[in-house]
Amino acid sequence: MQAVKDLLASILGQSGLRIFTNMNLGFTSLAFFIIYIGSLLYIINRGRKGLKIPKIRRIAGLDAIDEVVGRATEMGRPIAFVPGISGFTAGTFAGLGIMGHVAKLVAQFDARLIVFNCEPNVFPVSQSVVRQAYTEAGKGDAYREEDVRFITDSQFGFASGVAGLLIRESIAGQVLFGSFYAESIIFAETGNTIGAIQVAGTDMVAQIPFFVSSCDYTLLGEEIFAANAYLTHDVVKTGTIVVQDWGKQFLFGLIALGIISATVASFTGAPSHFIRDLLQLY
């Protein structure tokens, strides 16, 4: 490690090295960041050129979406979709992407989709996503503006309004994807009470237990982003998921290597701090 610091000192000078260290810019972190960005740009560039890139496997919970649409079509009852209650967060964007896929399926099967919105800024985007999905399915005339609804921006006012509409509209299936909070249990329990088949996913870890206990299928944590990339076939989204997985695999390997080296050192008495020094290199 000292050799690396000496090399940095020769390039930056002692004053430059001191500034580099005082700014707390980890050399290793910087190197990992550059590798990550480079890998991401490489994957995106290959995808846009039509070259082969790693594929995202289909998550089992996505098959349930087809089941929801099929059941609602057979029963002649609508499907409800809630894209979370937050503004434009990562979870909301993932939910909107999945909503486009659901809307296209609904249009193809001549079923009915009702979307409930809590956030005023997300509402017009929801309208645009559903309208575009119907148009791409060749069913633009079947799109109903009144079925993409803004309820209220009050959290529990929204929860109460959606719960009442689920019952009055006799929903056959409910799809919940986005960023949710405490109202998640109200949506899930209401849907469960009326016998709706439910598929849910959220990036809010604290809400996952509520969905698991009340819904038929639940996507866990980051699976919502993988599902969005899989369904939309977006190169940027797919590339981001792939490179993040590469980074996780590398870090898991690094952790395993550190554990092995430390264990060997404890038995042999030889110093083994290479991994620690690598991660602490400035």
> What pLDDT shows up at residue 16?
53
What are the structure tokens assigned to 2, written together? 């000292």
What is the rounded CA–CA span in Å between residue 95 and residue 202?
8
The number of beta carbons lying within 10 Å of the beta carbon of residue 104 is 22
pLDDT in the model for residue 15: 56
Distance CA 190, CA 272 (A): 57
pLDDT at residue 112 is higher than 80: yes
Token output for 202 = 């959220």
Q: What is the pLDDT of residue 81?
A: 96
Residue 97 has pLDDT above 70, yes or no: yes
Predicted confidence at residue 225, as pLDDT, reads 87
- Please give the pLDDT value at position 247: 85
Least confident span in 63-67, 102-106, 262-266: 262-266
Confidence of residue 241 (pLDDT cuts 50, 70, 90): confident
- Degrees (nearest 5) of the Cα angle 53, 229, 68? 135
Q: For 26-59, how does the pLDDT look when each residue is reduced to its tens digit (9 = 90+)?
A: 566 777 778 888 888 888 888 888 888 888 877 7
Residue 258 vs residues 180, 261, 265, 270, 282: alpha-carbon distances, Å:
38, 5, 10, 14, 19
Put the strands of the sheet holding 217-219 in their side by side order: 148-150, 113-117, 79-82, 173-178, 197-202, 217-219
Residues forming a β-bridge with 218: 200
Q: What pLDDT is stored for residue 181 in this prediction?
A: 92
Residue 167: per-residue pLDDT = 94
What is the average pLDDT across 97-109? 92
Q: State the pLDDT at residue 240.
A: 86
The dotted CATH code for 60-232 is 3.40.50.720
The answer to whether residue 232 scores a pLDDT higher than 60 is yes
* pLDDT value of position 23: 47
Decide: 275 and 253 in contact? Cβ < 8 Å: no
- For residues 192 and 214, the answer to whether their CB atoms sit within 8 Å is yes
Rg of the chain, C-alpha, whole Å: 24
Provide the percentage of residues in the chain whose pLDDT is more than 70: 85
Q: What is the pLDDT of residue 33?
A: 79
Mean pLDDT is lowest, of 74-83, 133-142, 245-254, for: 245-254
Structure tokens at 39: 């890998």
Q: What is the pTM of this model?
A: 0.78
Q: Note the pLDDT of residue 18.
A: 56
pLDDT at 3: 53
- Tens of pLDDT, residue by residue over 211-220, are 999 999 998 8
pLDDT class of 223 with cuts at 50, 70, 90: confident
| Domain limits, the chain | 25-54+236-279, 60-232
Q: C-alpha distances in angstroms, 13 versus 3, 26, 105?
A: 14, 17, 62
Burial class (CB in 10 A: 0-12, 13-18, 19+), 90: middle
Tokens (6 digits) for 86: 């937050």
